Structure 1
């Protein structure tokens, strides 16, 4: 069976945060005050891995919650679990059963033992974290690569985000006027978060209805192995891994992918080379 070619696909389905946007740098910088208060000498990798567990737990528990609120809640829950740690990160940050109280609804979600004014300050910090999506930086190669890829493909988005938060990112990505996304699908639209296969089934249905393109001509382009490549594998959708080293969140999974590039820019260059082959 011949090796797949990048140019055999018609629609690209992009993950955004981690693939097009550098969420890890921003998340880590905003977790540092919690780490400093707790006096935990964690590395960036340790902190991001722990935060990823918290976020995944909450997305599974609250599939209808807006992503900005998930982030605020995850920030509070990260601090709660950190403060309850007996010295080892792994047991406290393992998936826990039961529900987690909403930010500000229970003192356990704020700084342990804090009074009303301290809780109010802590809640404001959690909420600010949830609203920080608009400030997450775009990888330098992303916009030129998307402009180039738009000459060959329909560009679509399938992201674990709410519509309002993504509007800021979309404006920043499309601001040059050199390309536009052809279609956007968010967790808010679907009512669940990746890695649910429901999100990818929704995407395939939308792509078929809007562009008349079947699964065999759809390529998932994503950094997260856990959130994107695992469900793509389960549904038989071809995928391309954008590594973005030294990425941490979503990298702990065993998957198959047809293509593998360090950056989106490298992928765009590979597509251009294929197009000029005799």
Structure 2
């Protein structure tokens, strides 16, 4: 079991960990696809989204808004339709309406009493600012892909975060839902990690990646993590 007393800062992935990105993406893409006579189930949409996004983020850096526009364009290529300008912007424009998971805000407020809180997110500064309002806590540092000019799982994003946090690695605990984007890289750099496995009770494809490198702790949600941290 992790000794939470050794940590001074918790670094968080945002979308999928704190913010319900699946419902956000589905809310934008499902009506768009249906408008073009493309009826896919939720896991098919999320799997394709993850595939297209990962491919784009491996290339030369472009802003996340452009990544999302190109993802929509790739859905069009895959299923034989040409998205309108409004449709190309639909996912990015919807981010301002994406909400935290039901347990997120209360858990963050509890954790804020004990730790410095830091965001490491594959997003643009302006897009995260929308989400920050929903999260209702003040983060000590916010590191975005726009600042790093790269996307997780790149080491670069974590190096920038560690530099900004300015604490020994053994005092930083990284918390994330994506094994692919976060857990593997964080562990490789010597960080302790908590896998928030919000899809544990869901059937179908594991959108967040297989657990190739084991986290130090697995929890089903942030409420559970906050409860563990509050124990003496």
Same fold (TM over 0.5): yes
Pairwise CA distance, 1:216:
0.9
1:268 aligned onto 2:226: yes
Pairwise CA distance, 1:33:
3.1
Contact between 1:34 and 1:79, CA under 8 Å: does it hold in 2?
no
Pairwise CA distance, 1:56:
0.8
Please, which of 181, 191, 199 is the counterpart of residue 157 of structure 2?
A: 199
- For structure 1, the residue ranges without an aligned partner over 5 or more in a row are 84-110, 113-118
Paired residue for 2:75?
Answer: 78
Computing the radius of gyration from Cα coordinates, the structure with the larger value is 1
Pairwise CA distance, 1:6:
2.1
Please, which of 16, 32, 40 is the counterpart of residue 14 of structure 2?
A: 16
Distance 2:211 2:48 in 1: 16
Pairwise CA distance, 1:46:
1.8
**Secondary structure at the residue paired with 1:260?**
strand
The total of aligned residue pairs comes to 228
**Secondary structure at the residue paired with 2:210?**
coil
Q: 1:29 to 1:248 in 2, by over 3 A?
A: farther
Pairwise CA distance, 1:218:
0.6
Pairwise CA distance, 1:220:
0.5
Paired residue for 2:40?
Answer: 42
Pairwise CA distance, 1:11:
0.6
Structure 1 vs Structure 2 CA RMSD? 1.7
Paired residue for 1:170?
Answer: 132
1:185 aligned onto 2:143: yes
Please give the TM-score of this superposition, normalised by the length of structure 2. 0.92
Contact between 2:32 and 2:87, CA under 8 Å: does it hold in 1?
no
1:154 aligned onto 2:113: no
- For structure 2, the residue ranges without an aligned partner over 5 or more in a row are none
**Secondary structure at the residue paired with 1:201?**
helix
Within 5 Å, give how 1:106-117 maps onto structure 2. 111-112=81-82
